[in-house]
Structure 1
Amino acid sequence: MRLPAASFRMSPAPGFRTIALIIASAMFMEQLDGTILATALPSMATSFDVSPLHMSVALTSYMLSLAVFIPASGAVADRYGARDVFRTAIVLFTLGSMLCGIAPNLPTLVLARLLQGIGGAMMVPVGRLVLLRSVPKHELVSAMSWLLVPALIGPVIGPPLGGLIVTWLSWRWIFYINLPIGIVGFILATRFVPDVRAAERTPFDGLGFVLSGISLSCLVFGLELASRGATSPLGSTGLVAGGLAVGALYIWHARRTRYPLLDLSLMRYQTFRLSVVGGSLTRITAGSVPFLLPLMMQLGFGMSAAHSGIVTFVSALGAMAMKATAAPLLRRFGFRSVLVWNGVLSLAFIALCAAFRPDWPLWIIYAVLLIGGFFQSLQFTAYNTVAYADVPSERFSSATSFYTTFQQLMLSLGICVAAASLHASVTFSGHTQAQIGDFSVAFLVVTIVSLFAAPICALLPRNAGAEMSGHRAR
């Protein structure tokens, strides 16, 4: 969306930490909900008197909403105001959570999950848009650090928390816990989040919305089904191929439209382009670790779901430690050096997970996960910040929609790559179920794929994002 400079208006903003934590709380709620549900599916199937396999639709319906509505988030925020859209998204997500909790049957649950997905699709990119437009560039690194930590904690604590809730309460409380978070988030957003909106309205790209929705839903749905083996390889491959075909049609449309929903011209900005490409490769590993690590701890080490959750939570502690050090590290070394060398370090610690064995002392496993969580969190703080270094502020709406769309797609691809690697190793080894060695193969495969991000990040200029980091290249 190409608007004249300074063509958006906003009200005075409070401190960036307040805004970042409000948005981070909404992201935490969305990320927690996405991982906590998987633990409760067997219990929900019993309650609804259906096969556990049929419960997969509760996951895919939510992902479908995300795929369809994330691309439209920036355009909607510019038209109606980021604060109003953000608050509405919280209301939709919270209302959807309540309806999920009281759902009497599976069809009602699916409809409620679709409503939840619409709210989730708007919360994350619009929240990031508010932060970008209300925080000065020189404080954006610190703001992104505060924003990222709760989003990383959600997927880590989701599985063990889900296990505890199902064991001691009811699966319905998995959705009810979102209600107080949503209510408080709505109140705080009303009080503190600035009103950001475009001064000039542009036409909504309806055809682009339809094409991108079909393409992305086919891709995400196909990858998600392939990762769980919920359908035949031909079925999941057909969905992915169909998504790519419609995606090519969208590209043809976007090049001929003045205001495309997903603006491909943003890739002309070098920092944005390299962050999208390098970040996409890195997120393949990020999407795979929350899938592989708990499974390895339970199937390979014989841990309970709660115990494995405690082990994996250590990586979140490393992520929390990062928020105080991201700004000084980026100021000292710059975005390029951090993204290249920290990227290699973070992947090295993920690769070390392939060597985990039951006879390892737990403190060594904790140390690897703690340090790896720190480096991985620093990596995504750098990616999420430098992406907007050269993008004009009037194009932030389009940039956040574009960036978040690829982020969601690559996290799904990460699970698919991990699951495919695990399945291939089990088949090749002749095992009846996954062994520790099979998990080692999967960890190494996703690590090798993400290593290709390092030479891409090396293409960044030495002074990339200097206004944000304060780094001055020698």
Structure 2
Amino acid sequence: MSSTASAPRSSSSPLLWLVAAGFFMQTLDTTIVNTALPAMARSLGESPLRMQSVVVAYSLTMAMLIPASGWISDRFGTRRVFFTAILVFALGSLCCALSRNLAELVGARILQGMGGALLLPVGRAAVLRGVPRSQFLQAMSFVAVPGLIGPLLGPTLGGWLVQYTSWHWIFLINLPVGLIGCAATLVYMPDGRAAQPGRFDLVGYGWLAFGMVAVSLALDGLAELGLPQVTVVLLVVFGLASLAAYWLHALRRPDPLFSPAMFSVQSLRVGLIGNLFARVGNSAMPYLVPLLLQVGLDFTPLHAGMMLLPAAAAGMAAKPVAARLIARFGYRQVLVGNTMLVGLTIVSYALIGPEQPLWVRLLQFAVFGAVNSMQFTAMNTVTLKDMAGPLASSGSSLLSMVQMLAMGMGVACAGAVLAGFNTYFGAAGLASGHSLRAFHATFVTMGLITMASAWIFWQLEPDTAATTEEVKAVDADTVDHA
């Protein structure tokens, strides 16, 4: 984050507030759902341990649409696309609230994700066009603040709404915000567009989108969907083949979605692969922890949401610390060491039980929030720090896509592991002792996966370092989705 969180004093300030509000709405909805999953499961007649598709559908839809967001904005104009994005997001929220079964809820979350996927990329493009270049980093720092506040408020607000109203209100609160946002967009959003947006690489987009969906469905099919093993294997094979086909297609196309030339930059290669695998573990935590507290420890939704406040608050406080550590020790040492710390902290959640003192639990959550926040800052900045010129925007979009893809894969993987251990320990129904053991084993597994990804960051050059100002500059233009 930059040192300031105030909007630049210019005629663009209403635009920045509008983009920040849209981003807040999107990030809030990413986190507010997790606390409500057990209540949704009871209402829809489902098991709370098999609700991960509600999260996976949203994040996977966003991952699919982010690569197309730049071309859509250039082709149809930022005002029209941003207005449509808010409208689709609000409509999806209404459909979520009206859902009568899990299938309808997942379909509504896909619609909601279609709107959410365009809010930040199109908003960033509008800021880039509407704010003087000298004020861009300050403007993006202001816009990024809701990305920190949303996760801070989401779990507690979701728990409060579920406990004192119903889970439907976590979606219905988006409607008045959406209506105000639509009106404000018509007044304050400039209608910027490219004079010649060029042709969209539809074939490459199809290969890329199918590959992401197939691999994610294979992971989710191991747990919630109950797909036969042969179907899961076929999805993995065809998904990986589709991703390989995209790469071969991009090599011979002059204007691919993501130029293979980007991958000649070593820090981008390591950063993207590290982001993908390291996030499989820590992206599962916002999904697993509320379930652990409510299903394994019988917490109320509000109590469970409030227990997550230390992690979010510590994450905000740790942001500046990451910049200073990177400036002193370099990216490789910080990322290797911090990845191990994140994994160990995830493993430590296996110690959580009814007899654990409250202060120990709160400290544990705060430590995870701090090291996790430093991990995101370091991973994001090392990925984009060497991107310049026309590759910078493409690199940012690719990073956002990987973030959302990893989030969906992390939740799907955690759901599959939890379901497997739940069966292994003989958890008939939700007997607290068996389900708690399944949660503990799942945390150990996800922590080990995270720790294993540390070797990826070891591939960075040992002298890969940066000044505190450089880290803050890249971080200001990078918004984390997890």
TM-score by length of 1: 0.79
- Aligned to 1:95, which of 62, 82, 91? 91
The answer to whether structure 1 residue 220 and structure 2 residue 219 are counterparts is: no
Match for residue 367 of structure 1?
363
Return the alpha-carbon distance in structure 1 between the equivalents of residues 223 and 383 of structure 2. 29
Which amino acid in the other structure matches residue 346 of structure 2?
I
Aligned-pair distance for 1:283? 0.6
Superposed CA deviations along residues 145-194 of structure 1, whole A, max 9, x for unmatched, are: 7354135436x60xx64454345334432321112333455566677778
Does the 8 Å contact 2:59/2:407 carry over to 1?
Answer: no
CA RMSD of aligned residues (A): 4.0
Return the alpha-carbon distance in structure 2 between the equivalents of residues 56 and 368 of structure 1. 24
Superposed CA deviations along residues 411-435 of structure 1, whole A, max 9, x for unmatched, are: 2222233233334444444554644
Match for residue 468 of structure 1?
470
- Aligned to 1:179, which of 170, 175, 178? 175
Distance 1:178 1:431, change over 3 A: closer
Which amino acid in the other structure matches residue 278 of structure 2?
T
Match for residue 274 of structure 2?
278
Return the alpha-carbon distance in structure 1 between the equivalents of residues 420 and 355 of structure 2. 26
The answer to whether structure 1 residue 386 and structure 2 residue 382 are counterparts is: yes
Residue 418 of structure 1 aligns to a residue in which SS? helix
Residue 387 of structure 1 aligns to a residue in which SS? helix
Residue 415 of structure 1 aligns to a residue in which SS? helix
Does the 8 Å contact 2:52/2:412 carry over to 1?
Answer: no
- Aligned to 2:112, which of 106, 113, 116? 116
The answer to whether structure 1 residue 27 and structure 2 residue 16 are counterparts is: no
The number of residues matched between the two structures is 455
Aligned-pair distance for 1:365? 0.7
Distance 1:56 1:363, change over 3 A: closer
Which amino acid in the other structure matches residue 469 of structure 1?
V
Which amino acid in the other structure matches residue 468 of structure 1?
E
Match for residue 308 of structure 1?
304
Q: Name which of structure 1's ranges 141-150 and 344-353 shifts more when overlaid on structure 2.
A: 141-150
Alignment map for 1:19-168 (pairs within 5 Å): 21-22=20-21, 24-32=23-31, 34-35=33-34, 38-42=37-41, 45=44, 62=58, 65-82=61-78, 85-101=81-97, 112-127=108-123, 146=145, 148-150=147-149, 152-153=151-152, 157=155, 161-162=157-158, 164-168=160-164
Distance 1:338 1:84, change over 3 A: farther
Superposed CA deviations along residues 286-332 of structure 1, whole A, max 9, x for unmatched, are: 22212322232234333333323322332112123234544444444
Distance 1:51 1:294, change over 3 A: closer
Superposed CA deviations along residues 435-454 of structure 1, whole A, max 9, x for unmatched, are: 43332222122122212333
Return the alpha-carbon distance in structure 1 between the equivalents of residues 207 and 344 of structure 2. 39
- Aligned to 2:397, which of 398, 401, 407? 401
Match for residue 261 of structure 1?
257
Distance 1:53 1:234, change over 3 A: farther
Match for residue 477 of structure 2?
none
Return the alpha-carbon distance in structure 2 between the equivalents of residues 132 and 383 of structure 1. 23
Return the alpha-carbon distance in structure 1 between the equivalents of residues 106 and 419 of structure 2. 29
The answer to whether structure 1 residue 453 and structure 2 residue 450 are counterparts is: no
Does the 8 Å contact 1:93/1:117 carry over to 2?
Answer: yes
Aligned-pair distance for 1:118? 1.4
Unaligned runs of 5+ in 2: 1-9, 474-482
Distance 1:202 1:221, change over 3 A: same
Return the alpha-carbon distance in structure 2 between the equivalents of residues 251 and 151 of structure 1. 35
Aligned-pair distance for 1:260? 1.6
Distance 1:247 1:387, change over 3 A: same
Return the alpha-carbon distance in structure 2 between the equivalents of residues 384 and 23 of structure 1. 22
Superposed CA deviations along residues 23-67 of structure 1, whole A, max 9, x for unmatched, are: 641432441465366345346537xxx999999886666456435
Q: Name which of structure 1's ranges 21-30 and 354-363 shifts more when overlaid on structure 2.
A: 21-30
Match for residue 235 of structure 1?
231
Distance 1:426 1:31, change over 3 A: closer
Distance 1:110 1:391, change over 3 A: same
Query: Percent identity over the alignment?
Result: 32
The answer to whether structure 1 residue 296 and structure 2 residue 295 are counterparts is: no
Q: Name which of structure 1's ranges 69-78 and 179-188 shifts more when overlaid on structure 2.
A: 179-188
Distance 1:58 1:274, change over 3 A: closer
TM-score by length of 2: 0.78
Unaligned runs of 5+ in 1: 1-10
Distance 1:458 1:132, change over 3 A: farther
Which amino acid in the other structure matches residue 239 of structure 1?
L
Residue 353 of structure 2 aligns to a residue in which SS? coil
